[in-house]
């Protein structure tokens, strides 16, 4: 059944959608092949893949996505919304970057920002391959196996928004909008072919129809989170069949097989992100400064500083490593099949 969406715009406010619908129809377009990747990147790009401990950051003071060397503190790569001439309204849409993930064998970045945007950025030349307006305050995104996207947003209480990715038009509209209270995270579970997302004090499981041209998700189940509420970060534990989960009171490790949750030794309130890596990588946390939602530094679970730079406003920090929990060993950037 079709229902209507009303678009509201007020002076000084972000564009938001108030919706009582679940599915939005869009016009189908031809699907030419995706553009080939460029040749070898500049010297600063090469440095990323030679770096022993690369760190991926959202930096809100200057609206940047950064890859830094955790050992030398050097900035190896940056993408600034203000410099993204190939993305209309980038300065507003990508204001206050909120989430960043390395995808497609670490050759692309998937990012969201509280200004309302989601973008796929190619590292080699910083080209924006796809972008869209989600609505107020998207906090996470995930790529499906067919190349389409789902975005978690707290707009109007919370939604999971599904996008059909068109790499020729390079932009798109929401094709499905599912209410999900305080939705702050989305993770693809490759082994089980399902999407995991948080909703306040619940961890929810969704199935995906796998239709590249008409992507849809369906809620399958939900599991209560035993402690606290306002679930925030959800991200795979490197090399394990498990996920990190944080909320307003603690940090937990979740078993992917049965979704059992156990409080971690480093648990504390309001951790914005947790990330782990292979041997030699500390498990890192982004814990905001008192009275803020950001910090100038990233710490390990013992409280030791892993990276710090005065003037930065870091919101999330991820090790720039492969994510075998969500993506295959050969993970190509593809145009969803028609």
Say if residues 116 and 136 touch (Cβ distance below 8 Å): yes
Chain-centre distance for alpha carbon 177: 17
CA–CA separation, 338 and 335 (whole Å): 9
C-alpha distances in Å from residue 76, one per residue of 52, 160, 304 = 12, 33, 22
Mark out the alpha helices in the chain (DSSP H runs).
43-50, 90-93
As a whole-number percent, the residues of the chain with pLDDT over 90 amount to: 80
Say if residues 299 and 306 touch (Cβ distance below 8 Å): yes
Say if residues 113 and 81 touch (Cβ distance below 8 Å): yes
Confidence of residue 167 (pLDDT cuts 50, 70, 90): confident
pLDDT per position as a tens digit, 1-26: 333 333 333 333 333 333 333 333 33
pLDDT per position as a tens digit, 305-314: 999 999 999 9
Domains of the chain are 39-319 (2.130.10.10)
Residue with tokens 């490759």: 190
Mark out the alpha helices in 59-206 (DSSP H runs).
90-93
CA–CA separation, 73 and 54 (whole Å): 10
pLDDT per position as a tens digit, 275-314: 999 999 999 999 999 999 999 999 999 999 999 999 999 9
What is the model's pTM?
0.87
pLDDT per position as a tens digit, 71-128: 999 999 999 999 999 999 999 999 999 999 999 999 999 999 999 999 999 999 999 9
Query: Of 163, 264, 260, whose CA–CA distance to 215 is shortest?
Result: 163
Measured at the CA of 252, the angle between CA 114 and CA 55, to 5 degrees, comes to 55
Q: What is the DSSP letter of 83?
A: G
Query: Of 201, 244, 249, whose CA–CA distance to 222 is shortest?
Result: 201
What stretch of H or E contains 319?
strand 314-319
Q: What is the DSSP letter of 302?
A: T
HSE of 40, CA atoms in CB hemisphere, 13 A? 6
Q: What is the DSSP letter of 185?
A: -
Burial class (CB in 10 A: 0-12, 13-18, 19+), 329: exposed
């Amino acid at each position: 059944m079709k229902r209507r969406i009303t678009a509201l715009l007020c002076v000084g406010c972000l564009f938001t959608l108030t919706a009582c619908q679940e599915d939005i129809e869009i016009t189908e377009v031809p699907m030419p092949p995706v553009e080939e990747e460029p040749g070898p990147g500049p010297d600063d790009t090469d440095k990323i893949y030679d770096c022993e401990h690369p760190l991926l950051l959202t930096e809100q003071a200057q609206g940047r996505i950064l890859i830094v060397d955790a050992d030398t503190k050097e900035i190896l790569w940056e993408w600034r919304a203000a410099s993204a001439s190939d993305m209309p309204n980038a300065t507003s849409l990508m204001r206050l970057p909120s989430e960043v993930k390395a995808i497609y064998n670490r050759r692309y970045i998937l990012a969201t920002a509280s200004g309302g945007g989601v973008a796929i950025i190619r590292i080699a030349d910083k080209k924006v391959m796809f972008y869209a307006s989600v609505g107020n305050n998207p906090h996470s995104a995930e790529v499906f196996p067919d190349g389409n996207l789902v975005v978690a947003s707290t707009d109007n209480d919370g939604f999971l928004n599904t996008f059909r990715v068109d790499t020729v038009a390079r932009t798109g509209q929401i094709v499905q909008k599912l209410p999900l209270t305080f939705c702050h995270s989305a993770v693809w579970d490759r082994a089980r072919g399902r999407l995991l997302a948080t909703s306040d004090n619940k961890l929810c499981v969704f199935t995906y129809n796998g239709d590249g041209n008409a992507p849809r998700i369906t809620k399958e189940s939900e599991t209560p989170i035993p402690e606290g509420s306002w679930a925030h970060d959800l991200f795979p534990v490197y090399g394990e069949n498990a996920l990190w989960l944080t909320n307003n009171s603690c940090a937990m490790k979740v078993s992917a097989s049965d979704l059992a949750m156990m409080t971690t030794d480093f648990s504390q309130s309001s951790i914005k992100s947790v990330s782990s890596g292979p041997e030699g990588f500390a498990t890192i946390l982004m814990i905001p400064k008192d009275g803020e939602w950001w910090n100038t530094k990233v710490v390990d679970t013992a409280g030791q500083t892993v990276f710090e730079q005065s003037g930065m406003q870091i919101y999330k920090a991820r090790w720039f490593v492969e994510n075998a929990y969500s993506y295959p060993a050969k993970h190509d950037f593809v145009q969803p099949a028609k």
